[in-house]
Structure 1
Amino acid sequence: MIRHDALDALPVRTALPALREALEGHGAAVLVAPPGTGKTTLVPPTLAGLLGGGPARRVVVAEPRRIAARAAARRMAWLLGEKVGASVGYTVRGERVVGRHTRVEVVTTGVLLQRLQRDQELSGVDVVVLDEVHERHLDADTVAAFLWDVREALRPELRLVAASATTDADGWARLLGGAPVVAAEGVAHPVEVVWAPPGRPVRPPHGMRVDPALLTHVASVVRRALAERSGDVLCFLPGVGEIARVAGQLDGLGDVEVLQVHGRAPAAVQDAVLSPGTRRRVVLSTAVAESSLTVPGVRVVVDSGLAREPRVDHARGLSALTTTRASQASGRQRSGRAGREAPGVVYRCWTEAEDTRLPRFPAPEIQLADLTAFALQAACWGDPDASGLALLDPPPAGAMAAARTVLAAVGAVDATGRATERGVRLARLGVHPRLGRALLDAAPVVGTELAAEVVALLSEEAPREYGDDLAAALRTARRGNDAAARRWQAEVRRLRTRLRGDADAAPGGITSGAAHVGRPGAAAGETSPGGTATHPGAASAANGPASPSGAAARSGRTAGAATPSGAAAHPGRPGAADGAGSFLGTDRAAGLVAALAFPERVARADAGTYLMVSGTRAELGDGSALRGAAWLAVAVADRPVGKGHARVRLAAEVDEGVARLAAGALRFEGREVHWADGDVVARRVERLGAVELAVRPLREAGAGPVREALLEGLRREGFGLLRWSRDADVLRQRLAFLRLHLGEPWPDVADEALHARVDEWLEPELGRARRRADLARIDAGTALARLLPWASGDAARLDALAPERITVPSGSAIRIDYADPERPVLAVKLQEMFGLEESPRVAGVPLLVHLLSPAGRPAAVTADLASFWRDGYKGVRGELRGRYPKHPWPEDPASAEPTRHTNARLRR
């Protein structure tokens, strides 16, 4: 029986006529409805014709999380007075509850993405509702782009609704071709805001670390809320670890039940949270409770103000979550949880002034995350660079380039970036392409069951208590009965089924040829934007599941059995039967799978750390069971903020044979001649990326490579490696002076310019050199003189334009210091300049004259000698004549005789 009383209480019902009109007129709409108005639970069954009449339609609702998908389906079924699987069902990874009469199916965005890749027309689906689009998950953005493509090219009758409580409505409206925005005026209950910052400053989040003082404060605010307010308390924290720590500080609450909710929580706990409690409750939750879910009984929200976002270090190939401040939109979503059923209150653990400085919306995942899976989806869709997809934010070029590098390495795309047949198979597996590669290539070697077990364990963050040893964690999962182990078991079954079904669809093992696909809607024989011929219609059974063009244009060659690196079998070992066991054993098999997924993270012990093939160093945690292993396959690693080395979170011990097999594409063997440790190093080397396997000295390196190594040394350590006499230094300074003030034809003698013209001035000496000591014997002055403008004849003017010495009035030839090319310096005793009215010049530039006392100490500095004689000399004379009475100190220095001698010598 339909629960009309509950349906009538949902405020979104007033927006339904406008929504129907928008969909009938435009075919797409943006629905903005405050939390608790019923947009998730009333709109889909209404659009399906299950409520309020209207034609019968099949509606697919896409939710960002599994817990939200299950909860939404159960709520809609309850409103209809049915069980889940009748008119309303759901599908999440590893679980499907639908029936033959299901008209509303709630799915995760990941499931819908897979479905679109297999059947881009979404046959039989009339309406797609994208819920909680404000969260900007990468899968959701991708699904929206694909759906718009399908609607524009193949199915203009397909209706699309983008729904959220807080979102960039105008941006989504533009993305959906100018779709109308329908706003539901909710009768949301008022929510009082209480600002509850910590009493003393706390350290800002740093990587995954949250200041324990903040968590202690959050726990105290929860206790305060329980004392000051009635109803259940929902507390938002960034992650599972923080939830556990706050839960530990809430012991002794008496008759209050504390529940911990997150994506890895047991289904029983998730169900309990979504049902009314028999006693007062505190629900500690990650962002899973931020959208889509109504936690009954909640009147109070305590918000830590923190969130978790992905970050990728593309240079090191490492990714990790990091703790950030939650956006204003997230804050509104969270506070709205308190006012869904009655007036409520939100305690915000920061100041009101801080709130105005928070970002308006969460950062889109496409700007932050590893884009390898996204790039593969785009390639399979026929748009390798995603330039033709309707996305609110384009993918960063650097992240896409890194993603394409990975996809090329695993054989998922060809040289043009188009998906190969192997890439299509990887996309269909529903795991990250790295893990898909490991699954396909390891299964023939270790068996389907064991390969699926390891990949399932790697596809979701393993509980911390499982440890950092992958093989030991696998054994723990096998004998465990916790929520993580049950999810792992379900994923193993899914992967096993998918892998065997995929093998049946693609006999003959891995195919390395291309399976190019075009954008939806290309006519038969028409060339898609990437230049690929496409064909309409669904793929036949012989061709396998449909690609986005409707059929894959299959071509290419069979690469033999699906073994790592394309080999017919593991070198020196028999093929493995398809079963739970493996001739490798669990430990070595786990290492092989991890190494195949992350070949650049294969690492060898080196000086107390592990050097990865990628060149990044990694460290094991204290007490790790992996200590002492010669080689590791690192499956999970992160780089803590401010740390130079990565931190191993999950790895397996392997041997050199597995390392060579998995990272074979990164193997190099040959000569290496380069500059290292201050000299030329010539050797024959075999290495995997940055890891050296074998090194032997090379006696005959060849003149060309040696010369390049010497040039590398000069670039890294500078031209100080040559022999610079005083005359050579002075010559370089004089040339720098002339270049600055006269320009051409005087040469540029800065390091960069000298490197650019090394062939002109450092040959033939450089060609004869073989090591650092040979460079030290090269006279830099003789070599540098080759750059003088001899051809034009200007070289002969060097001494006239920039003389080494200049004759002063006393007759002394005083050296000019050209160290500062802006203003050369002439340091001379004051008495030797008597009678000279104007400052001396070189190349038209007045010298900076340092006038020295009889003892050679600076007495005055001037670039205008006449002005000094007129204004400054009197003071200097008064100061020095008493100190040096034997030296002449005439009252009129401009007309006095210059001298190098004392008065006594002058009288003689």
Structure 2
Amino acid sequence: MLIAADALPDLPIRAVLTEVGDALAGAGAAVLVAPPGTGKTTLVPLALAGTGRVVVAEPRRVAARAAARRMAGLLGEQVGERVGYTVRGDRRVSAATRVEVVTTGVLVRRLQRDQELTGTTVVIIDECHERHLDTDLALAFLIEVRAALRPDLQVLATSATAESGRLSEILGDAPIIEAKAALFPVDVHWCPPPQPVAPPLGLRVDPKLLDHVATTVRRALTDGDGDVLVFLPGAREIETVASRLRGVDAEIVPLHGRQSGSIQDAALRPSPVRRVVLATAVAESSLTVPGVRAVVDAGLSRVPRMDHSRGLGALVTVPVSRAAATQRAGRAGREAPGRVYRCWSQAQHDRLPAQPEPEVAAADLTGFALDLALWGHPDGTGLALPDTPPAGAMQAAMGTLHALGATDTDGRITARGRALADAGLHPRLARALLDGAATVGARRAAEVVALLDGDRRADDLITAWRRARTDNDGAWRAEVRRLTAAITRNTSGGGSELPDDLAAGLIIGLAYPERVARAREAGGRAYLMAGGTAADLTGSSNLAGTPWLAVADADRAPGARTARIRSAAPLDEASACLAAATLRQTTTETGWIDGDVIARRLDRLGAITLSERRIERPDPTQVQAALRDGLQREGLALLTWSRTATELRERLAFAHAALGAPWPPVDDDALLSSLDDWLPLQQARRRADLAKIDTASALRRLLPWSVAGRLDDIAPERLPVPSGSKVRIDYTDPAAPVLAVKVQEAFGWKNAPRLADGRIPVLLHLLSPAGRPVAVTADLASFWANGYPQVRAELRGRYPRHPWPEDPTTAEPTRRTNRRS
């Protein structure tokens, strides 16, 4: 122990320090469950440091620095002596350091370089309940290290919630130690907005909610003393609420991840004046904001989400979990009794999810997959991960890595993959950094990537870049230096005379080649990305009319047909083709396009067509396939249906309906599904040629030889009637062929004729001398006996020159009128 036990602050964790040490000594791993404010982050490492060097991993940089500063203060030392920290771009340690606080990302990188963690005795993974990707990786890697290389390495996983069973299980049924909280009470005030507010959508938060948060802050300042800590989802909301609080009798202090370390650290120091600290989730755990007596919680959090089908990854705003709300409320009771003002109702609270969703369930897993490949487990199989990564997300991530050249066909890491991992960035950004440096220069590549990685994006990246160069942004400048050094380690650098706007666009395009986009029409706001996603600029964007864009950030609201471009930089076509070179391809295409056969050679950048040329002599088989496709799409009306062809088709349909096979079906679906069997397309080249095909002759090709000669017997075109006429049969209804004949020509027929080998009676339409139907029957005998007398009575006076015998079955049929006397 680096400090005497009686010199430690009187916090609840002191009661279990011996138990923690014994558990680690006995089992080698343990789980410590302790609520916020119990001292687990600062007292446990000091207690364990007596056995050797301790590494503490925190999920956030601000928490890592704050924890180191607090422990150093307890020892009466400066950070960097016996207690130090290492976060990306900032390290304060020395040969005397016994406790080093790092971010989980730094721990993962360190494990990749030195799997044995030489010189380290204990590793503490703090705030495991937050379920970040790096936390899951660090735990899995450490478990394998203990099993294969360092059985003496002790691992302690800490959590602020009681959901510890899974942690214990993956650590080999490690013992669970619980520290009981003896914190100050926190009164809960339910403060839902007085009017309905829209739920968050993407990054958008209803301004009415932010107005209500500001009002609630004023109430919290009035209700009691002390500082007020306000939880908001992001930096933009912090700026909005800060503007609403102008004039309050307190200092307004922002606290979020985009700030420099010095500014963040300043927010965590005691202040002589009353403050309102407007913070994101960085203030949820692992640190104490001194002086806070009240918490105002907007109830929202910002988490990563990935639309794998479109390759769009972004942060989205979601309601907090109940566990996170408890964490936030606990900030008010660390030093004295406090108050929490929740900007939602108790009924809404009961419907919140119990725990936050693990990041692995919805985030972009490309960086996660690169770490797995670098560790030697490309898909995570065999590792003790708290949750199995979603198969689809892992497949997409591994595909991206292979496209970047980071892995081989088996998923194993390549030399290029190691260089990308060494940059300490998302693999896409690492690729843009290393490849872009050769074109735009190391410094400019590092500056743009630092913007992209630091969440300093704006609608117009060029404006944001220029602002970063002129602002005194120490964090951005430090990151630029780090990235420039990474370029020097892994490439020879280079540079060109590209102007800044094209340089920025090129770097973005190298990171996200599928988001290189071209305007759909000159001067418009609608774009098509190379990946095939349609996207629109916002109405206020000053990039409207830019022919080409490199899109750094886009999201798509649920149900929206197009994505919304949130951040981009201009490109020209040459730079776009350079950035997305892996997506460029020249293809030939013969198909049914815009209503005709088109054969063309296309130069494409993904889904974007750069140019096309007509092919004069296309492959005949592809032309025939296109014609068949056209017929499938537009139907058989593309053919010429003469009367002969139509009547033949109707006769064939009757034969099939009456007798079935081998008589072929000739309905649209049947004909379209058997085009190759009957339609001669060999000489056709375009739509117009389809209309020239002799459709009647083509249809006859469907008839098997065994029945081809019997069509006139089964379904004759015409039938002789008693008068000697040959009358055409109407087969429009294949179930009931119609013979329309005048009554006088049917005299002598006792029964209606039958077709299809006598199976189907003809439906007789008996006509008046003027050709108008007077009866419809398939039972002629019944008509002569029952219907004819009435017809005779009605018509013989109207048509006296035509015969109307009393017995039509014995009368002479005739096509003529009675002779004049």
Q: In the alignment, which residue of structure 1 is the partner of 2:118? A: 123
Q: In the alignment, which residue of structure 2 is the partner of 1:23? A: 24
Offset, 1:370: 1.4
1:677 equivalent to 2:668? Answer no
Question: 1:134 and 1:703, CA in 2 relative to 1: closer, same or farther beyond 3 A?
Answer: same
CA separation in 2, counterparts of 1:900 and 1:295? 110
Q: 2:656, 2:663 within 8 Å by CA — same for their partners in 1?
A: no
Offset, 1:245: 1.4
Q: In the alignment, which residue of structure 1 is the partner of 2:573? A: 656
Q: In the alignment, which residue of structure 1 is the partner of 2:388? A: 394
Q: Tell me, what secondary structure is at the counterpart of 1:252?
A: coil
Q: 1:680, 1:709 within 8 Å by CA — same for their partners in 2?
A: yes
Cα deviations across residues 857-876 of structure 1 (Å, max 9, x unaligned)? xxxxxxxxxxxxxxxxxxxx
Question: 1:256 and 1:669, CA in 2 relative to 1: closer, same or farther beyond 3 A?
Answer: same
Q: 2:202, 2:555 within 8 Å by CA — same for their partners in 1?
A: no
CA separation in 1, counterparts of 2:691 and 2:789? 41
1:99 equivalent to 2:90? Answer no
The letter of the residue matching 1:330 is A
Which of 640, 647, 667 is the equivalent residue of 2:584? 667
CA separation in 1, counterparts of 2:789 and 2:212? 82
1:150 equivalent to 2:138? Answer no
Offset, 1:670: 4.0
CA separation in 2, counterparts of 1:722 and 1:103? 87
CA separation in 1, counterparts of 2:296 and 2:335? 17
Which of 623, 626, 640 is the equivalent residue of 1:709? 626
Q: Greater shift after overlay, 145-154 or 63-72?
A: 145-154
CA separation in 1, counterparts of 2:711 and 2:321? 69
Q: In the alignment, which residue of structure 2 is the partner of 1:551? A: none
Write out aligned runs for 1:335-734 (5 A). Answer: 335-462=329-456, 464=458, 468-470=460-462, 472-481=463-472, 485-503=473-491, 576=495, 582-607=496-521, 608=524, 609-622=526-539, 624-717=541-634, 721-722=638-639
Q: In the alignment, which residue of structure 1 is the partner of 2:818? A: none
1:766 equivalent to 2:761? Answer no
Question: 1:799 and 1:149, CA in 2 relative to 1: closer, same or farther beyond 3 A?
Answer: farther
Cα deviations across residues 822-857 of structure 1 (Å, max 9, x unaligned)? xx89999xxxxxxxxxxxxx9xxx9xx9xxxxxxxx
Cα deviations across residues 71-114 of structure 1 (Å, max 9, x unaligned)? 11111111222211111111111000111111111111111111
Q: 2:321, 2:353 within 8 Å by CA — same for their partners in 1?
A: yes
Question: 1:825 and 1:115, CA in 2 relative to 1: closer, same or farther beyond 3 A?
Answer: farther
Offset, 1:721: 4.5
Question: 1:218 and 1:652, CA in 2 relative to 1: closer, same or farther beyond 3 A?
Answer: closer
Q: In the alignment, which residue of structure 2 is the partner of 1:855? A: none
Q: 2:372, 2:379 within 8 Å by CA — same for their partners in 1?
A: yes
Q: In the alignment, which residue of structure 2 is the partner of 1:879? A: none
CA separation in 2, counterparts of 1:497 and 1:274? 31
Q: 1:133, 1:167 within 8 Å by CA — same for their partners in 2?
A: no
Question: 1:14 and 1:708, CA in 2 relative to 1: closer, same or farther beyond 3 A?
Answer: farther
Question: 1:761 and 1:403, CA in 2 relative to 1: closer, same or farther beyond 3 A?
Answer: farther
Q: Tell me, what secondary structure is at the counterpart of 1:263?
A: coil
Offset, 1:142: 1.6
Question: 1:304 and 1:718, CA in 2 relative to 1: closer, same or farther beyond 3 A?
Answer: farther
CA separation in 2, counterparts of 1:319 and 1:308? 13
The structure whose Rg is larger is 2
CA separation in 2, counterparts of 1:795 and 1:75? 102
1:207 equivalent to 2:202? Answer yes
Question: 1:697 and 1:69, CA in 2 relative to 1: closer, same or farther beyond 3 A?
Answer: same
Question: 1:686 and 1:80, CA in 2 relative to 1: closer, same or farther beyond 3 A?
Answer: same
Cα deviations across residues 717-742 of structure 1 (Å, max 9, x unaligned)? 45554557766886898799899xx9
Q: Tell me, what secondary structure is at the counterpart of 1:224?
A: helix
Offset, 1:191: 2.5
CA separation in 2, counterparts of 1:596 and 1:294? 41
Gaps of 5+ in 2: 720-727, 740-755, 764-774, 777-781, 797-803, 805-821
Aligned residue pairs: how many? 758
Q: 2:258, 2:456 within 8 Å by CA — same for their partners in 1?
A: no
Which of 268, 277, 281 is the equivalent residue of 1:283? 277
Question: 1:285 and 1:731, CA in 2 relative to 1: closer, same or farther beyond 3 A?
Answer: farther
Q: In the alignment, which residue of structure 1 is the partner of 2:815? A: none
Offset, 1:494: 0.6
Q: 1:203, 1:211 within 8 Å by CA — same for their partners in 2?
A: yes
Offset, 1:23: 1.7
The letter of the residue matching 1:26 is A
Q: Tell me, what secondary structure is at the counterpart of 1:126?
A: strand
Question: 1:745 and 1:289, CA in 2 relative to 1: closer, same or farther beyond 3 A?
Answer: farther
Offset, 1:30: 1.6
Which of 68, 87, 91 is the equivalent residue of 2:63? 68
Cα deviations across residues 736-793 of structure 1 (Å, max 9, x unaligned)? 9899xx9999879785x8766543354xx234332233345567787677667x4897
1:37 equivalent to 2:51? Answer no
The letter of the residue matching 2:121 is D
CA separation in 2, counterparts of 1:717 and 1:419? 50
The letter of the residue matching 1:23 is L
TM-score, scaled relative to structure 1: 0.75
Q: In the alignment, which residue of structure 1 is the partner of 2:814? A: none
Q: Greater shift after overlay, 240-249 or 185-194?
A: 185-194
Cα deviations across residues 400-419 of structure 1 (Å, max 9, x unaligned)? 22222222222111122211
The letter of the residue matching 1:163 is T
1:322 equivalent to 2:313? Answer no
CA separation in 2, counterparts of 1:705 and 1:337? 70
Offset, 1:247: 1.7
Q: In the alignment, which residue of structure 1 is the partner of 2:131? A: 136
CA separation in 2, counterparts of 1:151 and 1:486? 39
1:165 equivalent to 2:160? Answer yes
Q: 2:124, 2:156 within 8 Å by CA — same for their partners in 1?
A: yes
Q: Tell me, what secondary structure is at the counterpart of 1:636?
A: strand
Question: 1:275 and 1:767, CA in 2 relative to 1: closer, same or farther beyond 3 A?
Answer: same
The letter of the residue matching 1:14 is A
Q: In the alignment, which residue of structure 2 is the partner of 1:870? A: none
CA separation in 2, counterparts of 1:43 and 1:786? 89
Q: In the alignment, which residue of structure 2 is the partner of 1:14? A: 15
Offset, 1:489: 0.6
Q: 1:329, 1:360 within 8 Å by CA — same for their partners in 2?
A: yes
Cα deviations across residues 572-604 of structure 1 (Å, max 9, x unaligned)? xxx64xxxxx43343333333222222222233
CA separation in 2, counterparts of 1:671 and 1:436? 34
Write out aligned runs for 1:742-891 (5 A). Answer: 751=669, 757-762=674-679, 765-776=680-691, 790=704
Cα deviations across residues 492-527 of structure 1 (Å, max 9, x unaligned)? 111122222345xxxxx7xxxxxxxxxxxxxxxxxx
Question: 1:232 and 1:681, CA in 2 relative to 1: closer, same or farther beyond 3 A?
Answer: same
Question: 1:38 and 1:677, CA in 2 relative to 1: closer, same or farther beyond 3 A?
Answer: same
Q: Tell me, what secondary structure is at the counterpart of 1:768?
A: coil
Q: 1:11, 1:186 within 8 Å by CA — same for their partners in 2?
A: yes
Cα deviations across residues 262-315 of structure 1 (Å, max 9, x unaligned)? 111344442333222323322221111111121122222222211112222223
Q: 1:469, 1:626 within 8 Å by CA — same for their partners in 2?
A: no
Offset, 1:817: 5.7
Q: 2:652, 2:665 within 8 Å by CA — same for their partners in 1?
A: no
CA separation in 2, counterparts of 1:621 and 1:182? 52
CA separation in 1, counterparts of 2:655 and 2:407? 55
Q: 2:650, 2:732 within 8 Å by CA — same for their partners in 1?
A: no
RMSD: 4.1
Q: In the alignment, which residue of structure 2 is the partner of 1:191? A: 186
